[in-house]
């Protein structure tokens, strides 16, 4: 009984606090709203300065929302904007009487003589809007927090998502008109046409970039393979190309390897020093100099590595939002999907396929929310290795494939026949498989499919472009007759450490893990 008495006053107090907060006058700047709208109707320069800062919801007075909405519609359709055209647009929208008629519009234009300081005024209006949004969101969080049926992790994720929207100054609209969307699409096409290069984030792999035009914003890309194929090596090579060559920020969430192990593999790739030498630290004097000089670009690269184990999808989204806000990251990589947990109210021993479905759905939502590509590595089932001569993976080999295949914009595989001791390619191009891998694009929602051959350098744990004019011995930079280095490519391949050693595989990759 005493416990019940303690709880009731607390809930009552909460409602009183919320009611008191709602009773206050919300932050507003009506006079500045009038000045900005009046300036927009008398000076085109004023429109150009504030049209990207404000949106109808930023205005406190309902009539001002309708007026700005009419101005925005005229701006999008490239129509002249003045007192008469705004009046006509409001009449078309059926809102002229709601704003007070032509008399009110004339009054707005008489309050101001020029568009001086209009940008400063509009930013104050935006600040008041953000304050009102924070009050609204805070009250919603308080009410949800007192709901005993709410899951605390869902509540945290929802709260952080709402605050992130405010931080970005991009409060979600309920919907957008086709007219507005067409204008945005045309603007993006025009921007792409003036650029030399790709519309998305370049991977550094030429044929892949030709196929995809780079990784596109809001896309979820799945890269799947069996253990030992080089999933981590591929995405590390790609992260290096994006962060160093393109200067775009990359967030790498590693649930399997430590951040120091990953950066050591990148150092090996960047310096040309084998991973074995870096592991043992047995470097010659000139190799120490090589190490110190060639890591400079890597040190300056906008690459952020998080090696939190058993990361939940909610923690990942929170971390990704902060990285996007603080560092402007342009790509997220997760290594790998099956090591993540759904978090929230998921209980142990539940349906793993449902959990993976929740994770993949949230990864797609994260890509759309941040408007950047998200790449998730995934394991393939053992069915690949039980097949006959061809070990090339298929979509049906994806673990928990239904949800992953459905949510992903691109599903791709990494395949190295050499790992299975297959010496010749089984496609129409043929040739030796030594030192080569294949990037298979099996699903591409917005483009074509292809199998792209790449060079694989096992001693550096990296992938690179495969030039068609290179022979198999040239791939490793040595000839058949030289007595220096590794000799021919076949001997070099045989001299490599075991695959487990090259890739740093652990038992967590084995099929005994119940994923």
The catalytic residue positions are 256
- Distance in angstroms (rounded) separating the CA atoms of residues 70 and 91: 10
Number of helices (H) and strands (E) in the chain: give both, helices first.
22, 9
Count of beta carbons in the 10 Å neighbourhood of residue 114: 11
| Orientation of helix 101-110 relative to helix 30-42, angle to 10° | 90
Phi, psi dihedral angles at 455 (to 5 degrees): -80, 135
- Distance in angstroms (rounded) separating the CA atoms of residues 288 and 278: 10
Return the exposure string of 378-401: e unless at least 16 CB atoms fall within 10 Å of the residue's CB, then b.
bbbbeebeeeeeebbbeeebbbbb
- Distance in angstroms (rounded) separating the CA atoms of residues 450 and 66: 50
| Orientation of helix 259-271 relative to helix 285-294, angle to 10° | 110
Smallest CA-to-CA distance from 215 within 197, 196, 201, 199 is with: 201
Grouping H, G, I as helix, E, B as strand and the rest as coil, residue 451 is strand
């Amino acid at each position: 009984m005493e416990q019940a008495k303690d709880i009731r006053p607390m809930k009552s107090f909460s409602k009183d606090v919320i009611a008191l907060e709602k009773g206050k006058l919300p932050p507003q700047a009506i006079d500045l709203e009038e000045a900005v709208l009046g300036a927009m109707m008398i000076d085109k320069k004023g429109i150009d300065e504030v049209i990207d800062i404000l949106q109808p919801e930023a205005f406190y007075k309902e009539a001002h929302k309708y007026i700005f909405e009419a101005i925005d519609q005229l701006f999008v359709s490239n129509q002249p904007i003045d007192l008469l055209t705004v009046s006509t647009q409001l009449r078309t929208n059926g809102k002229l009487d709601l704003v007070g008629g032509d008399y009110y519009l004339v009054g707005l234009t008489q309050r101001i003589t020029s568009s001086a300081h209009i940008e400063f005024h509009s930013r104050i209006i935006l600040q008041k809007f953000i304050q009102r949004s924070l009050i609204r969101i805070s009250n919603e969080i308080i009410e949800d927090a007192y709901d005993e049926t709410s899951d605390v992790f869902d509540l945290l994720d929802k709260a952080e998502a709402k605050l992130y929207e405010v931080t970005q100054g991009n409060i979600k609209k309920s919907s957008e008109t086709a007219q507005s969307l067409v204008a945005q699409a045309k603007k993006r096409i025009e921007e792409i046409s003036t650029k030399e290069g790709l519309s998305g984030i370049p991977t550094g792999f030429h044929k892949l970039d030709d196929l995809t035009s780079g990784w596109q914003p809001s896309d979820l890309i799945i890269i799947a393979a069996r253990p030992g194929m080089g999933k981590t090596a591929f995405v590390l090579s790609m992260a290096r190309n994006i962060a160093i060559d393109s200067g775009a920020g990359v967030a790498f969430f590693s649930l399997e390897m430590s951040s120091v192990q990953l950066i050591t593999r990148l150092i090996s790739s960047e310096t040309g020093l084998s991973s074995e030498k870096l592991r043992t630290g047995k470097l010659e004097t000139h190799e120490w100099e090589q190490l110190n000089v060639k890591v400079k670009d890597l040190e300056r690269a906008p690459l952020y590595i998080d090696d939190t184990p058993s990361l939940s999808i909610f923690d990942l989204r929170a971390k990704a939002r902060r990285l996007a806000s603080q560092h402007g990251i342009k790509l997220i990589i997760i290594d790998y999907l099956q090591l993540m947990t759904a978090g929230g109210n998921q209980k142990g021993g539940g349906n793993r396929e449902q959990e993976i479905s929740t994770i993949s759905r949230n990864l797609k939502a994260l890509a759309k929310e941040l408007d950047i590509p998200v790449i998730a590595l995934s394991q393939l089932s053992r069915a690949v290795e039980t097949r006959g001569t061809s070990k090339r993976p298929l979509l049906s080999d994806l673990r928990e494939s239904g949800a992953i295949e459905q949510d992903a914009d691109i599903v791709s595989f990494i395949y190295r026949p050499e790992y299975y001791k297959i010496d010749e390619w089984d496609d129409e191009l043929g040739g030796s498989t030594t030192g080569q891998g294949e990037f298979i694009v099996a699903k591409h929602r917005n483009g074509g499919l292809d199998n792209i051959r790449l060079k694989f350098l096992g001693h550096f744990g990296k992938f690179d472009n495969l030039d068609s004019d290179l022979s198999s011995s040239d791939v490793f930079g040595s000839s058949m007759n030289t007595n220096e280095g590794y000799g021919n490519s076949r001997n070099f391949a045989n001299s490599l450490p075991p695959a487990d050693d090259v890739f740093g595989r652990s038992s967590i990759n084995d099929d005994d893990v119940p994923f």
